[in-house]
Amino acid sequence: MPEVTVNQFASVVGIPVERLQEQLVEAGLPEKSADEMITDEEKNHLLTHLRGKHGKGSSETKKITLKRKTSSEIKVPLSVQGRTKTQSKTVNVEFRKKRTYVKRSAIDELTKPEVEEELPAETAEELAEDTVDSTEVVEAVENNDVANEQAAESAVAPETEQAKTEEVSEKPGADVENKTPVEAVAEEPVAITPVAEKTDEKSQAAKKGKGKGKGKDKSTRYGRQELHVASDKSGRRKKKSRHRRKIIPTVDAQHVFEKPTEPVVREVEVPENISVADLAQKMPVKSTEVIKFMMGLGSMATINQMLDQDTAALVVEEMGHKVKLINESALEDELVFAAKESGEQVSRAPVVTIMGHVDHGKTSLLDYIRKTKVTEGEAGGITQHIGAYVVETDKGKIAFLDTPGHAAFTAMRARGASVTDIVIVVVAADDGVMPQTEEAVKHAKAANVPIIIAVNKIDKADADPDRVKQELSKAEIVPEDWGGDTQFVNVSAQTGEGIDNLLESISLQAELLELKASDTGAATGVVIEARLDKGRGPVATILVKSGALNKGDIILSGREFGRVRAMVDDNGNEVMSSVGPSTPVEVLGLSGIPHAGDEMMVVPDEKKAREIAELRKTKNRESKLAKQHAVKLQNAMDKMSEGDVATLSILIKTDVQGSSEAIVDALTRLSTDEVRVGVVSSGVGGITETDMNLALTSKAVVIGFNVRADASARKLADEEEIEIRYYS
């Protein structure tokens, strides 16, 4: 039995701790505190003392008398006169047995000689005589054991026979109390300890073999319940009967579950987005409780509504729990930290973005610089895509980004200004400052980049450069000759006048900026444009900002990742080696079409890239669900207040990501109080059968810009009479 403390022992015995400490002192044991350990020897000593005190003698119990009952049922046939059918009656029979067991130590004490402490000194002869006497006593005891064993065996035989006789000859309604012969046989002093001891040894051996894993030692928390029985107890074990009485366990009042009196405060982990059901499960409370609480705070919520991190944290704190905010972008932060610029910093080429109003000659100016004909390839002679080019000059390389000037391409212009080092605002000398001109200046100021004003079309007769300076001065763009800090260069994209001065101004401004980046290590960059090519798959135009992008690198861009299968430069030639900073390049091999403006980085292994991409997709899906739910609630409230509003559903597919953004923004602005334009879906690539099924479900009009529907989509459109409109 393991040692326990005085406090634990007192709880098992069922007396106060102070009373137990007094009894320990009365028994002659040292005084112990409630937390001190008490051994088995001290327990036995205390038990002997208490027995002597209460008149049961100072020694352990010499005899143990066991009374056992066994019950069984007997079917007695009943004879029915005049019938062949046999009937039987069940009779309950009860057997009572009484056995007395005597410890081996009691016989040893009878045969053991007196204690030899009274003789201070004995001779060797006396010790030898005592040894012989003790040997004779042991032999006599052994002889008695053999005789007792034989007598016990002879007594057990008639006992079993008599029990069988009584079992057969039992009459219906017989008195089951007449079992005195059995009890008399059992009470005879013949069945003394030796037989029981051997039987006990066999039963213990059988127990060890059979009872592995079945309860082993039925004990309390602090050991056996029978604390007063010595460890060497013995007794005859009888075979277990088939019919056992149900043992009703006594339940200790101290171990019964008690309802907590104080509220349980938990630490709840709150991610960036979580539904009401998941939040309730984490606390844990019922979802209806959370919904009721949010209604009390003035927020209408459903069980599947997505909550942002701030709202969920507020609900958790108000309900009395602790909040632990989870940063799901920890893996991304670790990756960004590992991808920081490392290595020697070297000078890099400037990235120049050409901006301005539509038809003011931005692409024509760049076309003259590149000595190519880019304008002719664009629809209607206006730029719809961001063009990225590298130009070799006497002063070194310059990377140019040509942005659209149309009003619909605001997001594209803002993206171009955010990744650039220098902004060139092209203003037509005969047209002056226009709305998109002012917008380009605002984007450049917001990006905190220097501005160079290129006054184009000075070869025209009605050109007025001073008018341009005057109008721009109102927008806080003051030329240098007027005492400002902005360079004004007069150029002509037709004759080439002033082009060299413009390139020189760009080089001078780049020297002032001291642009540097590492040309070794993992590459980082930004997606300028992305599209779906029919033969090559997803194609992304990436501007490398630092590091070296090699063929075969694993890149991560937004929610897409992949291995670089091929790279194509601005002239359409495949790049066999790596590309360095300030170099635009088309990359093939991504898993999907990334969004324009997404950051690009090289990842060490594909597994980590996939994990981050999946994490970003999950976050984007959750945020979309949250927005959709908010829109649904808002639409419901609008319908209640204004009545039914006609809605035009549109599905848009374009050739590049930038055009998709511009068209969706322009169509959404067309909504009025009577008619609302709803964009069901927008994407990049051809119109597929999946798009047609979505349009069929949502009853939407399909619009394609510079793309066409495939054969299966056209077939489904003809069958279901879905309208498809093509534009370019």
Q: Which residue has the higher pLDDT, 80 or 408?
A: 80
- Confidence check: pLDDT of 182 > 50: no
Find where tokens 């649904």 sit: 632
Report the phi/psi class of residue 461: left, alpha or beta, with left for phi > 0 and alpha for psi in -120 to 50: alpha
Separation of CA 113 from chain center: 77
Mean pLDDT of 481-500: 85
- For residue 232, pLDDT beyond 60: no
Pairing assessment for the beta strands 396-402 and 387-393 based on DSSP bridges: antiparallel
pLDDT of 164 > 50? The answer is no
Q: State whether residue 499 is helix, strand or coil.
A: helix
Distance between CA atoms of 424 and 463, rounded to whole angstroms?
19
Q: Alpha-carbon distance 632 to 12, whole Å?
A: 64
Question: What does pLDDT average to over the chain?
Answer: 73
Q: Per DSSP, what are the bridge partners of residue 345? A: 518
Q: 274: closest CA among 626, 37, 688, 673? A: 626
The pLDDT-based confidence of 240 (bands split at 50, 70, 90) is: low
Distance between CA 421 and CA 522 in Å, rounded? Answer: 21
The predicted pLDDT at position 296 comes to 85
Percentage of the chain exceeding pLDDT 70: 66
pLDDT of residue 148: 45
- Mean pLDDT score, 503-514: 87
| 530: nearest Cα among 598, 478, 578, 468 | 598
Which one is predicted more confidently, 194 or 594? 594
Average pLDDT over residues 167-176: 40
What local confidence, expressed as pLDDT, does residue 304 receive? 85
φ/ψ bin of 133: left (φ > 0), alpha (ψ from -120 to 50), beta (otherwise): alpha
User: Which pLDDT score, from 0 to 100, does residue 176 have?
Assistant: 37
696 DSSP 8-state letter: H
Q: How far apart (Å, rounded) are the C-alpha atoms in residues 687 and 460?
A: 45
Distances (CA, A) of 168 to 27, 75, 76, 80, 356: 56, 10, 9, 20, 118
Query: How far out from the chain centre does Cα 407 lie?
Result: 45
State the Cα–Cα distance between residues 676 and 11, nearest whole angstrom. 77
Q: Give me the phi and psi of 163, to 5 degrees please.
A: -65, -40
Per the model's pLDDT, the better-predicted residue between 368 and 636 turns out to be 368
Name which residue leads in pLDDT, 256 or 153: 256
Q: Which pLDDT score is estimated for 619? A: 78
The residue-averaged pLDDT of 477-492 equals 85
pLDDT band of 385, cuts 50, 70, 90: very low
Position 196 pLDDT exceeds 50? no
pLDDT value at residue 465: 84
- Give CA–CA dist 515/526, Å, rounded: 17
**Number of helices (H), then strands (E), in the chain:** 20, 26
Its sign, for the CA torsion 367, 369, 370, 372, is positive
Q: Give the integer Cα–Cα distance in Å for 398 and 513.
A: 14
Whole-number pLDDT of residue 364:
83
pLDDT of residue 257: 64
Q: What percent of the chain has pLDDT over 90?
A: 1
Closest residue by Cα to residue 685 from 662, 708, 667, 664: 708
If you write DSSP's letter for every residue of 644-687 in order, what string do you get?
--EEEEEEEEESBHHHHHHHHHHHHTT--SSEEEEEEEEEES-B
Over range 163-180, report the average pLDDT. 41
pLDDT of residue 365: 84
Q: What is the pLDDT of residue 201?
A: 46
- Tokens 């996939």 map to which residue? 610
CB atoms within 10 A of CB 530: 28
For residue 320, is pLDDT > 50?
A: yes
How large is the average pLDDT for residues 513-526? 84
Residues 48, 60: contact at Cβ < 8 Å?
yes
| pLDDT for res 728 | 76
The answer to whether the beta carbons of residues 426 and 493 sit under 8 Å apart is no
Beta bridge partners of residue 452, listed in sequence order: 424, 487
Band the pLDDT of 205: cuts 50, 70, 90. Answer: very low
Specify the pLDDT at position 718: 86
More confident residue, 62 or 135: 62
- In which residue are the tokens 């039925």 written? 218
> In this structure, are residues 182 and 94 in contact, taking their beta carbons and an 8 Å threshold?
no
Confidence grade of residue 222 (pLDDT, cut at 50, 70, 90): low
Q: pLDDT value at position 236? A: 58
Q: Say what the pLDDT of residue 133 is.
A: 46
Place of tokens 């694993």: 554
Residue type, 139: E
Write out the E strands in 112-211. none
Q: What is the mean pLDDT of residues 137-153?
A: 43
pLDDT at 473: 85
Q: Closest Cα to residue 22, out of 2, 40, 4, 49?
A: 49
**608: alpha, beta or left? (left if phi > 0; alpha if psi -120 to 50):** alpha
Contact, 648 vs 676, CB < 8 A? yes
SS3 helix, strand, coil % of the chain, rounded to 5? 40, 25, 35
Query: Could you read off the pLDDT of 394-419 as tens digits, one per residue?
Result: 778 888 887 664 444 455 555 555 67
- Contact partners, residue 68, CB within 8 Å, separation at least 6: 96, 97, 98, 99, 238
Question: Regarding predicted confidence, which is higher, 237 or 588?
Answer: 588
Question: Lowest-confidence range among 97-111, 212-226, 248-262, 378-392?
Answer: 212-226
How is residue 220 written in tokens?
A: 């309390």
How much is the pLDDT for 615? 82
Quick one: residue 226, left, alpha or beta (phi over 0 = left, psi -120 to 50 = alpha)? beta
Contact status, residue 21 vs residue 7, Cβ threshold 8 Å? no
- 696 has pLDDT over 70: yes
Instruction: Give the mean pLDDT of 161-183.
Output: 41
Model confidence pLDDT, tens digit, residues 599-651? 888 888 888 888 888 888 887 777 777 666 555 555 555 555 555 667 888 89
Q: Which residue has the higher pLDDT, 584 or 328?
A: 584
Q: What pairs with residue 651 in β-bridges?
A: 681, 702
Which segments within 234-348 are labelled E, that is strand? Answer: 267-270, 273-275, 306-308, 322-325, 345-347
Pick the more confident residue, 480 or 2: 480
The whole-number pLDDT of residue 416 equals: 55
DSSP 606-621: HHHHHHHHHHHHHHHH
List the one residue out of 248, 243, 149 whose CA is nearest residue 196.
149
pLDDT digit string (tens) for 334-364? Answer: 666 665 656 678 888 888 888 888 777 887 8
Average pLDDT over residues 577-588: 87
Strand 351-356 relative to strand 396-402: parallel, antiparallel, unpaired?
parallel
> Which band of pLDDT confidence, cut at 50, 70 and 90, is reported for residue 160?
very low
Output the six-digit token pair for 31.
């005084």
Mind spelling out the 3-state secondary structure of 341-385? CCCCEEECCCEEEEEECCCCCHHHHHHHHHCCCCHHHCHHHCCCC
Single out the residue of 460, 461, 405 nearest to residue 433, CA to CA. Answer: 405
Position 328 scores a pLDDT of 64
Q: What are phi and psi of 284, to 5 degrees?
A: -95, 135
* Average pLDDT of span 174-180: 40
Check: CB of residue 547 under 8 Å from CB of residue 455. Answer: no
Pairwise CA distance, residues 649 & 662, whole Å: 17
Which one is predicted more confidently, 687 or 200? 687
Q: What is the pLDDT of residues 422-455, one digit of tens each?
A: 888 889 888 888 877 887 887 778 778 888 898 8
Identify the residue with better confidence: 240 or 99: 99
